[in-house]
Amino acid sequence: MKYLVTGGTGFIGRFLVERLLKRRGSRVYVLMRKASADKYDALRERLGVSEERLIPVWGDITRQGVTDAATRRSLADEIDHVFHLAAVYDMGMSDAVADRVNNEGTRNLVDFANELGGNVRLHHMSSVAVAGAEFDGVFSDEMFDEGQPLRHPYYRTKFQSEKIVREHARVPWRVYRPGMVVGHSETGEMDKVDGPYYFFKAIQTIRDRVPKWMPLLGIGGGQMPIAPVDYVVDATDRIAHLEADKWDGRAYFLLQQKAPSAGGMLATFMEAAHGPSFVRQLPTQDIPAGFEQTFRQIAGRMPMARTLEKQLSSALGVPLSILGYVNNRTEFDDRNTRSALRGSKVKCPPLADYAETLWRYWELHMDYDVKVPKRLMTRVRGKVVLITGASSGIGFITAKKLAKGGAKVCLVARNPDKLAETREIIAKMGVESWTYPCDLNKMEAIDAMVEKVLADHHHVDILINNAGRSIRRSAFESFERFHDYERTMQLNYFGAVRLIMALLPGMGKRRTGQIINISSIGCLTNVPRFSAYVASKSALDAFSRCISGEVASRNIDITTIYMPLVRTPMIAPTKLYDYVPTLTPEQAGDMVVSAVIERPKRIASPLGTTAQVSYALWPKVNDYVLNKAFHMFPSSAVARGKRPGTEEEKPTLRGMVMAALLPGPYW
């Protein structure tokens, strides 16, 4: 099969091109403007294909003929399918831009497809926007012109461009109407903040500032026609290749059946962010469907109306057009899509199944709003900082913050691909960083890594020993697993000490430096089941305390952070932690930033310090309390010799109460 795709380098487009290239013997022509040649190169590199299979066609949908006459003649009778995805999606677009790209571009593309001849079939990517923002009732994919209001340029031109296809295409056509397209359900990949993503920052703020146990009031809202990009692409590909003519001349909604309400969607994402729960949703029926239009009409009579609108949107963090859609009254019926996909494995997953994947991707890759105190910039600008375990969790957040502060951040972790990804994320913030893949379990690898770092930067000003391994298993469950103690000590103690000893001579010679060790609150609270982990962290703690007196005269500070429980990939396998209070990586990163600025001897939570004093004064009382906690929190299924996931790992009610009263320890 031979395909021509417009918008092939866009978000949906690049996934569709990838999907089409998986078909045996397929060749994909992508319509490109000369000015976007770099995007074609990036797409070909991303997909790892040759120019013989991914072929650029230089042109522009906004010009008559789309491409030059010679190219049109060469493509005549060659193309089997034309996929038209190129369009402007910008809720702040002007009428002129919307008309030029979405309408005239579609008209030119339809004429182009008509001219191709042969057995070409046209596939037009429309949108649920054809129903407008104020339609009240059920809108099926059999419906089109129902007299619905279309006040916004985007809604209007998506309707009009679909109408152009319906009225002017002389070749067989099929129309696809995706809903609110979000990231990939398996990877979370997304390219911009849009739709529900506008609310993510507010969700993050609530999660970080409101206790998880505090109930929240939410909103009801209307149906949110959401769909992950992989479903949109898989469904489009499947429907496009149905051979029977009966599928032509139809539109297909691409969205989740039984779509969540606005309030349900926000509650799902709040749960994915591990924030507090919405216990009640307030009705929103009294908000007029034309909220956005009403506001614009009122504001339009006021001086500086456009400025007022921008200020309100900025304060809310959400465009008014998106906010107005929260009370959407349209219910979408995808009967054509269900019929076309019957018998296939293509189904739209429910949002709850992949919401956490979307959230994690946004927080790692798209949350560039990194705020750092001015004092950090003064402290680290131009300084070389080496962070271990920098590709995820605390290390990743710390790297973003210190890079934002102007530090030369050296990223160290075992996985080269994740390190490269971390460097790309930091680069999007406009900051350079350096990657050094290294298995910190191997002493020779540490030596080689340090040698390369020193060759590149000549010295290291701040070392942050963050990489670590945690094992939650009681001594009675470890008699046959002595290797757990060996490998934990190898990484958490010997690896960290080797790195300190390798960098300490340079710090001593320059008579300045700081070593920050990410330890554990467990070293202060002595929690059960963590004898391997806490022992390794305590060993590093003792080593650091001993050498502190040796290096103080050389202006070298050693800081230990007794970190409470943090929701990182390290604790993810322990499902028990889904039920206990934790810090976010953002909050943990702030603790590291504080350590860099203040250079204290230690940082510990009030609970950790209290536990340490309590154990010194009343050790038997502490043992009694910890023994009770030991029985309240069950061992993992694996530790008990069961297969993972065969038994629910959930604390008792008494255990959850204790975790809420004593938040922070690794229970």
Cα 37 to Cα 618: distance, rounded to the nearest angstrom: 71
* Other Cβ atoms closer than 10 A to 478: 17
C-alpha closest to that of 492 among 522, 535, 430:
535
Residue 12's alpha-carbon distances to 15, 615, 654, in angstroms, are 5, 58, 48
Look up residue 68 and give its two tokens.
């030059």
Cα 416 to Cα 667: distance, rounded to the nearest angstrom: 32
Q: HEC string of 49-64?
A: CCCCCEEEEEECCCCC
Q: What share of the chain is helix, strand, coil (3-state, %, to 5)?
A: 50, 15, 35
Cα 334 to Cα 179: distance, rounded to the nearest angstrom: 11
Q: Label residue 579 exposed, middle or buried (CB < 10 Å: 0-12, 13-18, 19+).
A: middle
C-alpha angle 138/141/147, rounded to 5°? Answer: 60
Residue type, 447: D
- Give residue 301's Cα distance to chain centre: 41
Cα 138 to Cα 150: distance, rounded to the nearest angstrom: 17
Task: Report the greatest alpha carbon distance in the chain.
Answer: 90
The answer to whether 250 touches 141, Cβ cutoff 8 Å, is yes
- Give residue 55's Cα distance to chain centre: 31
Tell me, what DSSP letter sits at residue 223?
Answer: B
Beta bridge partners, 228, equal 182
Alpha helix positions (H), 76-142: 95-98, 105-116
Q: Which of 252, 533, 562, 577 is catalytic?
A: 533
Residue type, 579: Y
φ and ψ at residue 27, rounded to 5 degrees: -135, 135
Residues 6+ apart with CB under 8 A from 380: 402, 405, 406, 407, 461, 462, 596
The secondary element (H helix, E strand) that includes residue 227 is strand 226-228
The secondary element (H helix, E strand) that includes residue 253 is strand 250-254
What string of DSSP letters covers 482-521? HHHHHHHHIIIIIIHHHHHHHHHHHHHHHT-EEEEEEEET
C-alpha angle 35/36/42, rounded to 5°? Answer: 145
Annotation says 533 is catalytic: yes
Taking the CA atoms of 53, 58, 59 and 60 in sequence, report the sign of the dihedral they define. Answer: positive
Cα 71 to Cα 78: distance, rounded to the nearest angstrom: 11
For the annotated catalytic residues, the residue numbers are: 533
